[in-house]
Amino acid sequence: MAKIKQLSYAEAQKIAAGEVVDRPANVVKELIENSIDAGANQISIYLENGGKKLIHIIDNGSGMSVEDAYMCIKHHTTSKIERVEDLATIKTFGFRGEALSSISSVSKFTLKTKEETSQTGITLEVTNSAITNETINAANTGTEILVADLFYNVPARKKFLKTKETEWRAIVQLFYAFCLDYTNICFKLYSENKLIYNFPATQDLSKRLSQLYELELYKNLLFIESQDEKMGMKLTGSISNGQYNRYDRQQIYFFVNNRWIKNYKLSQALLKGYQNILQKDKYPAAFLFLTIDTQHVDINIHPRKEEVQFLHPKIVEEFVQSNVKQRLEQYLEQNLGHNKQIVTERATAISSFWPINNKIAEQAQNINFIKQTQNHETQNKEIQSQEFLTILNSQFKSQQEPQAEQNINSELISKENFLDYQLIGQVLLTYIIIQTQEGLVFIDQHAAHERIMYEQFRKKFDDTARIKLLFPQIINLNQSDINIIQDYIFLFKEFGVISEVIGSNEIVITETPVFLKNQSLLDIFKQTVGWVSELDFVEQNQMHHNIREKIHAQMSCKAAIKAGDHMNTASMHELIKNLYKIENKLTCPHGRPTIWVLSQPEIEKKFKRNYR
């Protein structure tokens, strides 16, 4: 008996649709691309429930004739190519003719369209790949599409949809990409009928960037323009100068022949260009447009066209990396040259009183280190000695860390030993040294205090004293970051930071815990945006839990005494006493050691006194 059956058209379509759309953001992408291909210069998108309930797009493009309206929802119907060879010269986004047929097979789909030369427009309603309603009506020229209840008929897919917030963030990232790519189009994005983003058409990228991002980014952007005649390659766009950075990659955008693409290798090439300019775990902003001869790139390798394949990937990566590097170097030479001398002088001074640091001082004198240092520069471009020491010390710590860890011996730091100590003092403005029965105990003042603050925060959040700020702190972030932060304001509140979003890109902080009263909280807010973006795929409760932990650790870090801060005798005793009281005293909340013991036998060994 025959077992093989041909799937019905509707079923086959639903299965095929999985290739093109697996979440609301893919639908939005296909629809915006169609509107751009149709020559629209106004595109408005309305979302409900992060696009899961409704995606509604209106454009003022060419519109379609009645015949085309019927055609476009069938499989493999396109007005953009006729033969596969056409791909070599294609200028449109679309070419496969499967987006509308796919989307209409997995949603409750409505298409309204009218072309310029028609008196009337047509509305088609489609359910399960079949037209269920059609009407002729008055309409503006252009196209309007409603995609309701995505995957209502494919439960297996529907259950994989993420929370509203996650889907929304994916759409916003995509929306920003189109806004960067097509500055001549007016884009609007609504959520639950509220206008969230409104970016009028502009003439150039720079103006668009000023609409999309906060001033802080805008003023730290460097323009890039470079050409490689041989490969028919051109790179234009803007990158941040190293004074600006983020904790996530959300502001790295690459466009190849005007398509937004995700290409790991290209991002790596960009980051390599920033080597020695940005600290580990920090990312730049980059909006880079690569145009390349169409013979050298294949745009048809990814079902959702999110990736492209280069004929000579290495050459392209090298082109990006070297241009980024050169541009940054040029900037540093022009703007920061005078600081080189200051750093070198200080490095020499330090090496003379602290021989152990010779290696670091040497490092400080070479150019790379200076660039790294300039990263930490203050607004007035003067490197503060304290900051300099912090950097220097952090270098020192990272070199010493593995050894320090081996030396932690909890028995040596037992209760009795610890209590019975003699304070020697603070050294290098970073470590406290005490003498105990077992030898010398080094305490990293920042790491230790950080741990103390962390444990204190954990125990008694509710009665942590808060202070009303006389001058409320204003934090400027871009609109999309503000939208993310909005959902986490309540977590900050748990930690005693009372804040409120005002306007489209400001947060005002009115109250903080007392020990944070003079601290800028901008960094923690920026980090939170980064964590949320990186943790995008965890469930909401888990997300809150993780972010809460991270804020907790960062707050403790902020509140703690820094390396480079002077400590008087009383405050050193206080710190030692408090450290002794807590349980997890051996490491800071980030896992770095707080205490290092140099035992008497070890000292004796050094002096070859261990002959006994």
Q: Which residues bind ligand ADP (CB under 6 A)?
A: 30, 34-35, 38, 59, 61-64, 72, 77-80, 94-100, 143
The three-state secondary structure class of 442 is strand
Nearer of residues 78 and 210 to ligand ADP, judged by Cβ: 78
What interhelical angle do 479-486 and 164-181 show, nearest 10?
180
Give least dist CB 22 to ligand ADP, A. Answer: 16
Q: Identify what 77 binds: ligand ADP, Mg ion, none; CB under 5 to 8 Å per kind.
A: ligand ADP
- Element (H or E) spanning 197, and its range? strand 194-199
Strand locations in 357-465 (E): 422-427, 431-436, 439-444
Report the C-alpha gap between 420 and 409 in whole angstroms.
Answer: 17
Nearer of residues 31 and 482 to ligand ADP, judged by Cβ: 31
> Regarding beta strands 42-48 and 186-191, do their DSSP bridges make them parallel or antiparallel, or are they unpaired?
parallel
Q: 419-436: string of b/e by CB count within 10 Å (b at 16+)?
A: eeeeeeebebbbbbbbeb
Q: Identify what 481 binds: Mg ion, ligand ADP, none; CB under 5 to 8 Å per kind.
A: none
What interhelical angle do 367-374 and 313-353 show, nearest 10?
90
Q: Identify what 439 binds: Mg ion, ligand ADP, none; CB under 5 to 8 Å per kind.
A: none
Q: Identify what 62 binds: Mg ion, ligand ADP, none; CB under 5 to 8 Å per kind.
A: ligand ADP
Nearer of residues 19 and 494 to Mg ion, judged by Cβ: 19
* Bridge partners for 599 per DSSP: 439
Report the C-alpha gap between 199 and 203 in whole angstroms.
Answer: 12
Q: Identify what 35 binds: ligand ADP, Mg ion, none; CB under 5 to 8 Å per kind.
A: ligand ADP
Q: Identify what 167 binds: Mg ion, ligand ADP, none; CB under 5 to 8 Å per kind.
A: none
Nearer of residues 34 and 351 to Mg ion, judged by Cβ: 34
Q: Which of residues 32-91 bind Mg ion (CB under 5 A)?
A: 34
Nearer of residues 59 and 317 to ligand ADP, judged by Cβ: 59
Best CA proximity match to 92, nearest among 75, 73, 79: 79
Give least dist CB 316 to ligand ADP, A. Answer: 26
Give least dist CB 96 to Mg ion, A. Answer: 7
Nearer of residues 86 and 382 to ligand ADP, judged by Cβ: 86
> Regarding beta strands 221-228 and 233-240, do their DSSP bridges make them parallel or antiparallel, or are they unpaired?
antiparallel
Q: Identify what 273 binds: ligand ADP, Mg ion, none; CB under 5 to 8 Å per kind.
A: none
Give least dist CB 78 to ligand ADP, A. Answer: 3
Give least dist CB 95 to Mg ion, A. Answer: 8
Best CA proximity match to 357, nearest among 393, 318, 410: 393
- Count of C-beta atoms within a 10 Å radius of residue 403: 9
Give least dist CB 405 to ligand ADP, A. Answer: 57
For the window 407-426, what string marks contact with Mg ion as x by the rule CB under 5 A?
Answer: --------------------
* Site for Mg ion contains 564 (CB under 5 A): no
Nearer of residues 28 and 217 to ligand ADP, judged by Cβ: 28
- Count of C-beta atoms within a 10 Å radius of residue 25: 23
Report the C-alpha gap between 529 and 245 in whole angstroms.
Answer: 13
Structure tokens at 516: 């944070």
Nearer of residues 302 and 590 to Mg ion, judged by Cβ: 302
End-to-end CA distance of the chain: 93
Report the C-alpha gap between 20 and 28 in whole angstroms.
Answer: 11
Q: 342-378: string of b/e by CB count within 10 Å (b at 16+)?
A: bbbebbeebbeeeeebeebbebbbeeebbbbbbbebe
Give least dist CB 102 to ligand ADP, A. Answer: 8
CB 593 within 8 A of CB 408: yes
Give least dist CB 189 to ligand ADP, A. Answer: 17
For the window 88-127, what string marks contact with Mg ion as x by the rule CB under 5 A?
Answer: ------x----x----------------------------
Q: Identify what 96 binds: Mg ion, ligand ADP, none; CB under 5 to 8 Å per kind.
A: ligand ADP
- Token pair 């001549």: residue: 184
Give least dist CB 176 to ligand ADP, A. Answer: 21
Best CA proximity match to 257, nearest among 213, 209, 316, 304: 316
Q: Which region among 31-39, 191-199, 447-455, 491-499 touches Mg ion (by CB under 5 A)?
A: 31-39
Q: Which residue is nearest to ligand ADP (CB)?
A: 94
Query: 607: Cβ–Cβ under 8 A, 6 or more apart, which residues?
Result: none
Nearer of residues 94 and 273 to Mg ion, judged by Cβ: 94
Q: Identify what 180 binds: ligand ADP, Mg ion, none; CB under 5 to 8 Å per kind.
A: none
Give least dist CB 127 to ligand ADP, A. Answer: 18
Best CA proximity match to 426, nearest among 561, 559, 583: 561
Nearer of residues 81 and 489 to ligand ADP, judged by Cβ: 81
Q: Identify what 78 binds: ligand ADP, Mg ion, none; CB under 5 to 8 Å per kind.
A: ligand ADP
Give least dist CB 2 to ligand ADP, A. Answer: 34
3-class secondary structure per residue, 470-506: EEEEEEECCHHHHHHHHCCHHHHHHCCCEEEEECCCE
Give least dist CB 456 to ligand ADP, A. Answer: 58
The site for Mg ion (CB under 5 A) is made up of 34, 94, 99
